[in-house]
Amino acid sequence: MLKITKRDNLNRKNEIIIRTLAIVLSIVCAGIILIIFGLNPLEIFKAIFEGAIGTDLRIKQTIIKAIPLIITSLGILVAFKMKFWNIGGEGQIVMGAMAATFVALNFSSLPKPVLLFAMAAAAMITGGFWAFVPAIFKARMGTNETIFTLMMNYIAIKFVTYLQYGPWMDPNANGFPRVVPFGVNAVLPSLFGVHIGWVIALICIVAVYFLMKYTKLGYEITVVGESIETARYAGMNINRVIVVAMLISGGLCGLVGMIQASAIEKTLVAGISAGYGFTAIITAWLARLNAITTFFVCVAFAMLIQGGAYIQLAMNVPSAVSSIVQGTILFFVLGSEFFIQYKVSLTRKTGKQTSKEVA
């Protein structure tokens, strides 16, 4: 019979070995699946790689996809560090985009720097508010934050859909459900061929890393996540920590909505979150809730997303192929977390108990 016990401490070398083995096995398994489907795995993997960084244009597209993923992951990271399971990144992104759009459409005469700052501030405040609602319910009444934040995603999306098809619909679009496009002052400028969202993402990485590692609030968030009883014994205001952390988490997700609306869509659409809120849950977890590691994990994911889009066009391969590769890699990498946290032993009873470690 199998015996599962929690590891007391796994040294860095063995942890790297387990992670590396998981990645290798995931690639092998994905290759076998592709062969079964009649595809050449070497060609597919090569095309994904080339599609992500093969040319300057593809590199820029990979960076563009990494930007919202990085910032959203940082927002999710702050909440998860506290063991507040914020599944509402999608809704917070959408509400942030809605607030930024409101400012862009109603205050377009402002100077560009002022307008962009106002859009970002409105997006962060609204995204923070959308996270504040489940946070206050959790703090005051102990509600289930997973279900609460998940359901608020659909409220946000449907609300923006209503605006897109109703009050904010462009009267010059001949009945097409489109929000009025942004003016030039409401569009983020570019730097080195990519919108400055990448600069914002780097600033957010440094800010979140500093917050979690060197501030009192970051320490309180970590302690609350590890043990509420310990936090209470230390005299921490647990409800305040939960609310403030979720305001930061939702604010970062809301900032993503502003970036996507301003730099990518240049207007508001109901699907502006593009699944980043859900994908960020995976990337934040794979990064072990570390702001610096989040950067590398999100770039790797952006490469998979961009490479997957490329093979659909270049090789006429269904999008499901890219999803299979991504899903297989995720399965093995997430599975490796289990073996990092737990030890599996084979136990046999023959008069006296014997045990043999298998993983």
The whole-number average pLDDT for the span 137-165 is: 93
Give Cα 215 to chain centroid, integer Å. Answer: 23
pLDDT tens track for 105-127: 999 899 999 999 999 999 999 99
Sequence-ordered list of residues with C-beta below 8 angstroms from that of 296, at least 6 positions apart, any chain: 287
What SS3 state is found at 359?
coil
Looking at domain 70-316, its CATH class is mainly alpha
Give the integer Cα–Cα distance in Å for 79 and 243: 10
pLDDT tens track for 234-268: 899 999 999 999 999 999 999 999 999 999 999 99
**Whole-number mean pLDDT of the chain?**
90
pLDDT tens track for 14-66: 888 888 898 889 889 988 988 988 888 888 888 888 999 989 999 999 999 99
With cut-offs at 50, 70 and 90, classify the pLDDT of residue 353.
Answer: low
Place of tokens 């109901």: 270
With cut-offs at 50, 70 and 90, classify the pLDDT of residue 350.
Answer: low
pLDDT tens track for 180-210: 999 999 999 999 999 999 999 999 999 999 9
How many other β-carbons are positioned within 10 Å of the β-carbon of residue 74? 31
The whole-number average pLDDT for the span 311-315 is: 81
Cα separation of the two ends of the chain: 14
Quote the pLDDT of residue 202: 97
Provide the residue ranges of all domains of the chain, joining segments of one domain with +.
Answer: 1-39+319-359, 70-316
The whole-number average pLDDT for the span 76-98 is: 95
pLDDT score of 357 more than 60: no
The whole-number average pLDDT for the span 88-102 is: 96
Quote the pLDDT of residue 359: 58
With cut-offs at 50, 70 and 90, classify the pLDDT of residue 137.
Answer: very high
Question: What percent of the chain is helix, strand and coil (3-state, nearest 5)?
Answer: 70, 5, 20
Quote the pLDDT of residue 171: 86
Give 327 or 238, the one with higher predicted confidence. Answer: 238
| Residue 94 structure tokens | 């959408």
pLDDT score of 355 more than 80: no
Sequence-ordered list of residues with C-beta below 8 angstroms from that of 124, at least 6 positions apart, any chain: 96, 251, 252, 254, 255, 258
Give 61 or 319, the one with higher predicted confidence. Answer: 61
Quote the pLDDT of residue 248: 97
